[in-house]
Every structure is written in structure tokens, then in C-alpha cells.
Structure 1
């Protein structure tokens, strides 16, 4: 499986597997081959060695890199930005305005990740290297970034998964790099003929209404491609967005029921796990499929985010 990557997605865009959490096809880094060589997502620091070797096998040197764009500053997407930047002397990191402070001073980000991942933090995310302000660029909603003679990327503020999240529109492929804001794609099911997408509702800034707005916005844009942080690309955006919208509604219905019953996120994760397994069983996927190692973790973290949202909603 490892030799599938780096993978050429089209004439200009490549996908490198970062082997996040030791899993193949979990978290990806995109390379846009334009005049201003651009990387989207670094993954966590342990993925940087895979990004560097992927760049080398594609024939790119790190001093060619001009922009490193992170959709948001969660450590599985941007945790390796500081480490990678050390070897990219001509690059700057492009970040959402609400994320810049955390990349410059990552202490709170580290504390938040430790609260979620506990003693796995070191193995999954170390080291987190601060990024100097002068090596960062902020992009607000509607801002542009010219990376080639005919390629001008456009940024969209897309909270829902996190308040510091933007998505990046590539006009040449009519594709959107969406990070986590409109869900996760499970590449592991593609060999079985199943395309499957779930929302990513992790703590602590999950907002279902904002997430649905992003889904609706992208649906109206008639995109040709969606490039996911987790993982890979779909050429059927309308189907992908429809699935995520459906599951977001199911997630919230179950979360509200669990909350009313005064039960915790483990109960919610278990209920969602049963629903997802039943859904995939109907499509011929065995409960012993390797994909469930990833799905179960995703559901656990998503359940935390939904219960956190409902607790905070009651406080407001």
C-alpha cells in the first residue's frame, strides 16, 4: 500500500501519505506544482519525514517551496508546520487569522491535545516547534493567493469543525481543499467499492449549524473535486456532501438523546459505532474490516466534541 504514494491526482496536484498515527491513508499532504510551489497540510511532526521523502521522490527540493498552507491548526494538520518550515528556507506558512497565535505560541494547543490524547501525545505529535510571526501570512474570507501565472487560490472562512478553519479553492481543478470542515473520506473502503464519508465533530469548537452552512455552500458551488485532509480526493462532491449532511443529522440526534439521558460520550460513541457498522454491513463491509480501527477512534473524538457542544450550549 505504501508504494501508492506519492500519488498524482491530476496534472498539477499530488498527494503524499503522512502515515499519521502509523496508519496508511489516514492524513494527507497535497503538493500543488505551480510557479510558487505550494504544500497544503503538513500533518503532525512525525509525518514530516514522510512529506520530505515524498517531495524528494516527486523531484521537488524543499527550497523550492514558497507556501505551506494549513487549513486549521489542529495538530494532525498543522503540528508539523514548524518542523517542516525549518527545512524550507524560502517558504511562509499561510494560516487563518484565529490560528496564527497558536502557531507562534503553541502551548495552549499542546495542552488541548494532551487533554484529548493523554499519554499518546508524545508519540503522535512531538515536537511542536513555534513559527515566527514574520514567516506567517494571514488569509481572511475571500482573500486570494497567486501561486502561478493562471492560478489564484481563494480562501473561504469555514468554521464548524474549528473556528480557525479555512478552505482553499483551486480554480484550475474546480476543487476545494476542505481540511475537516465537511468531513472525512475513508480511502480504506474504496477497494471494496464503497465511498463513505462522516462528519468530523471533534472538541472544542464544533458547531453543527456552521458545519452545515459550509456543506451547503460547497454544494452550491458545483465543485468538481473535494480534497480531504483525511484522506484523498473525491470526484463526486455532491454525493460526499449529501452523505456528510445526513450523518451530521444522525450524529446530533443521537447526541441529544444521550445528553437528555445524562450519559457520557462513551455511550454516544458506542451508539454511533453500531449505526455505522450496520450501515456498512448493508454495503457488504465486515465488522472485522481494518477501517474500523480508524472509524472507532474518529467516533470517540467526534462524540467528545458533540457532548462538549451540548454542555456549552446549555450554559449559554
Structure 2
């Protein structure tokens, strides 16, 4: 994999910044969530104007603003904050970011807009999955966004960033409130979680290791496969994932994702009805992803691979169980 080197900076006020500059004015900023190279916000700059795509949590805001300051971009120059969906590792810091960016508009899927204006239900839903104490500790207090600053981006909505069109695409599968962003200038999609997860620690000479995410509570396998296929119709040269940033060779990766979505569904059906369904799913996924990682040439060892994938495997298992239960109603 040919990735630019990450820049690591300690600012005068002891703020740690880590980011990667790509072509076409795209910068991947490490939000600091969970661990390094886990959660990215993407900054786009065009003709001195800027937009963020996904923003991490409330605790990420200082890093994002710090990179703006380091690059000499005035906060008044940020025109848009775009969230691919309203899960808190992508949009938890949106309210705080909007408070710091006086001219920005928040761009969000129509199904997610109300949760940005009034995050009460969003916090309640996350608390049901993770627990209220964990949500408070991990994400902080979510700030509402004034309704007049929110753009509900229906399928095909075009954002004009200083003459650079960014097309919002309705892409369900991971969540029904998910959008991806097509950037023709860069011939790339910003995919949130629709095009899976690919951690840079698992890169090998064969390229990126990728896997799908079935996080609760709206996983829909057929919709996800349809969304992936739709992204390919734009013939992108790269995908920018929130977890974690740029991958290339997208047609091959798409085929791998489709294969794995079907495999996760099969694992879920096999585990269904067992008294220990959840643990069966978790261990089944660890075995499946571990075997794929070994075949991909990952040499980190099973313990390290399990450590890197632990959170996603747990959430994938929860999401698959919600999907199973919904299908049985």
C-alpha cells in the first residue's frame, strides 16, 4: 500500500495532532477515538473554502480545529460539516463543531436530521446499546444544531464547495440514515461505513484488508450490497473510509465485501437458535476474519489481530442479532 506519511504534531498548548495529506486538497485527520488510525475525519479544501466529512466525537473537535489552525484555514472558511450518518463515532461532535464554525451548514441524510437538531433519542438509542455511563464517558454531551443550519441531503443532492460539486448518495445497508459523498474532482467516494472497514495495521503487499460492518441497529445485508454496487457505477479510483481513510483497488475490495456480507449472514443463521448465540457469533467471526487475515498475509499474530478487531466483531455480532430478531417477527 502506498500511503502518504502521517504528520504528527504537538502544538504549543500540548494538543496532539495526527493527519495525512492526500491529493486534491483532502486531509485525513485522526479523531483520537479509541486508538490511533481507528476513526478519521476528512477535511476537503477547495479555493480556500473547506468542508469536513464526519467529525468523530465531542472529544475530537479540538483535533479537527487544531488542524485547521495549523493549516492557516480560518474557521469562517468552513462552509459545510457533512456527516455520513448519525452514529456517534461519525457525528457525535457535530454540534460542538457547528458551534465553533460560524458559517458552516450541517449536511445530513433526511432520516438523520432530526437527531442532529434534537439528539435526545440518539443518546437514548446509543445508551441502549452501550450503556448510559459508557455513552457519557465516551462521547460527552451532544449539542443540538439549530434547524436553520441543517441541510437535509436527499439522494442526488449536490453540495457546491467553491465550485467543486460533492454529490450525496442515499446508501442504506449499514444504517437507513446513511449517505456517501461522490467527489468527481478526486474520483473518490467518502463512504462512512457503507464500504466497510480497513485498518492500516492490516495492510500487506496484497493491499488493504477489508471487512463489512453490521453495527446495530439497522443492518440490512441486501441493501448494503446494493449500495456497494451503486458506488462502483461512479468508477471511483479510491474510497475514503471513516475507519480508516483511503483505499484503492476498489473493485476487488467490493467483491471481497460482498462475499463477506454473505458469509456473515450465514454465520448468523448458523448461530441462531443456539443458547449461546452471541458468543457463537463472536467466535465464528473471529475465526472467519482471522483465516482471511492469514490468507491476506497479515503476520501480526492471532492475539494482535483479535485485539484490533475486537470492538468491531462485538458490534457486528450485536447488529446481526438485531437483524435476525427483526426478520423473525
1:166 aligns with 2:179: yes
User: How far has the Cα of 1:290 moved from its partner?
Assistant: 4.2
Partner of 1:242: 255
1:7–1:15: 8 Å Cα contact kept in structure 2?
yes
1:160–1:205: 8 Å Cα contact kept in structure 2?
yes
- Aligned to 2:243, the other structure's residue is in SS state coil
- Aligned to 2:328, the other structure's residue is in SS state helix
> What CA deviation, in whole Å up to 9, does each residue of 1:122-160 have, x standing for no partner?
2211121111101111110011111123x1111110010
Of 228, 252, 276, the match for 2:289: 276
1:63 aligns with 2:68: no
User: How far has the Cα of 1:175 moved from its partner?
Assistant: 0.6
Once the two structures are overlaid, the 10-residue window that deviates more, 115-124 or 80-89, is 115-124
TM-score, L = length of structure 1: 0.94
User: How far has the Cα of 1:287 moved from its partner?
Assistant: 3.0
Partner of 1:296: 310
> What CA deviation, in whole Å up to 9, does each residue of 1:225-278 have, x standing for no partner?
101011110121112212211111111110011014354223201110112112
Between the aligned partners of 2:62 and 2:200, the Cα distance in structure 1 is: 22
Of 24, 27, 31, the match for 1:18: 31
Between the aligned partners of 2:241 and 2:248, the Cα distance in structure 1 is: 11
- Aligned to 2:70, the other structure's residue is in SS state helix
User: How far has the Cα of 1:2 moved from its partner?
Assistant: 6.6
Once the two structures are overlaid, the 10-residue window that deviates more, 192-201 or 233-242, is 192-201
Of 3, 12, 35, the match for 2:8: 3
Of 227, 238, 242, the match for 1:229: 242
Q: Can you give the 5+ residue segments of structure 1 that lack an aligned partner in the other structure?
A: none
Aligned length: 313
Of 35, 57, 81, the match for 1:44: 57
Between the aligned partners of 2:117 and 2:305, the Cα distance in structure 1 is: 35
1:6–1:58: 8 Å Cα contact kept in structure 2?
no
Distance 1:97 1:265, change over 3 A: same
2:290–2:302: 8 Å Cα contact kept in structure 1?
no
> What CA deviation, in whole Å up to 9, does each residue of 1:46-97 have, x standing for no partner?
1111111122222222221110000001110000000111110111100110
User: How do residues 86-97 of structure 1 correspond to structure 2 at under 5 angstroms?
Assistant: 86-97=99-110
The list of structure 1 runs, each at least 4 consecutive aligned residues, that deviate by more than 4 angstroms after superposition, is: 191-194, 288-291
Partner of 2:3: none
Distance 1:121 1:177, change over 3 A: same
Between the aligned partners of 1:284 and 1:206, the Cα distance in structure 2 is: 28
User: How far has the Cα of 1:187 moved from its partner?
Assistant: 1.3
User: How far has the Cα of 1:114 moved from its partner?
Assistant: 1.5
1:29 aligns with 2:41: yes
Between the aligned partners of 2:190 and 2:298, the Cα distance in structure 1 is: 30
1:176 aligns with 2:189: yes
Q: Can you give the 5+ residue segments of structure 2 that lack an aligned partner in the other structure?
A: 1-5, 10-17
Partner of 2:113: 100
Of 220, 225, 231, the match for 1:207: 220
- Aligned to 1:184, the other structure's residue is in SS state coil
